[in-house]
């Protein structure tokens, strides 16, 4: 039993974990699609808004790196969001070549709509559990989140990459 996917008890548990994560992702993603359509957004644009919601005004290069995109593609995404009135661009006063992306009021409201929609969906699911089940799920997800957050901090704080948020 080396814990490889599908091998032994740990492998079976890993398979179940992966299946549960995929199902959770599909559940939340499918519910979000309708709301995104109402807002005239695609997944790339929504991910950009969510990134800015969590990190505040951010350099274009940092957005591209964080979202796994190339700078030209990120520029197209931001162009669409600026055109919809959801974002505004400005130059970094210390380096005019650096573009800073930030919300407009409409962009903040649109993002809050997406978040509220997700919250309502999550509450509907949680209502089906008794308190003990609910607490167990929350603790497990918080553990997963903190584990991933530790990994993400290492990626984001690489001094050789343009991934530092809010660097002005």
- The number of domains in the chain is 1
Q: Which domain holds residue 122?
A: 41-156
In a domain, 12, yes or no: no
What DSSP string runs through 40-94? T--HHHHHHHHHHHHH-SEEHHHHHHHTT--HHHHHHHHHHHHHTTSEEEEEETT
**Digit-coded pLDDT (tens) for 92-103:** 888 888 899 999
Residue 148 lies in a domain: yes
CATH of the domain at 147: 1.10.10.10
149 pLDDT tier (thresholds 50, 70, 90) = low
Quick one: pLDDT at residue 152? Answer: 52
Examine residue 124 and state whether it is found in any structural domain, yes or no.
yes
- The answer on pLDDT for 110 being more than 70 is yes
Q: Average pLDDT in the 61-85 region?
A: 95
Q: Is residue 19 part of a domain?
A: no
pLDDT at 155 over 60: no
Global pTM value = 0.70
Measure Cα distances from 45 to 7, 69, 118, 142 in Å.
39, 12, 16, 26
Question: In this predicted structure, what is the pLDDT of residue 165?
Answer: 41
In this structure, is residue 15 part of a structural domain?
no
Check whether 157 has a pLDDT greater than 90. Answer: no
């Amino acid at each position: 039993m080396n814990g490889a996917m599908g091998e032994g008890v740990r492998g079976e548990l890993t398979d179940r974990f992966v299946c549960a994560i995929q199902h959770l992702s599909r559940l939340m993603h499918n519910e979000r699609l309708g709301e995104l359509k109402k807002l005239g957004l695609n997944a790339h644009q929504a991910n950009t808004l969510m990134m800015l919601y969590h990190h505040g005004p951010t350099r274009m290069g940092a957005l591209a790196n964080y979202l796994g995109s190339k700078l030209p593609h990120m520029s197209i995404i931001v162009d669409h969001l600026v055109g919809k009135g959801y974002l505004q661009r400005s130059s970094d006063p210390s380096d005019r070549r650096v573009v800073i992306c930030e919300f407009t009021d409409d962009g903040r409201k649109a993002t809050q709509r997406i978040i509220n929609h997700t919250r309502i969906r999550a509450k509907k699911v949680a209502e089906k559990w008794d308190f003990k089940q609910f607490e167990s799920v929350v603790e497990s997800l918080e553990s997963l989140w903190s584990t991933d957050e530790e990994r993400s901090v290492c990626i984001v704080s690489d001094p050789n990459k343009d991934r530092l948020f809010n660097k002005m």
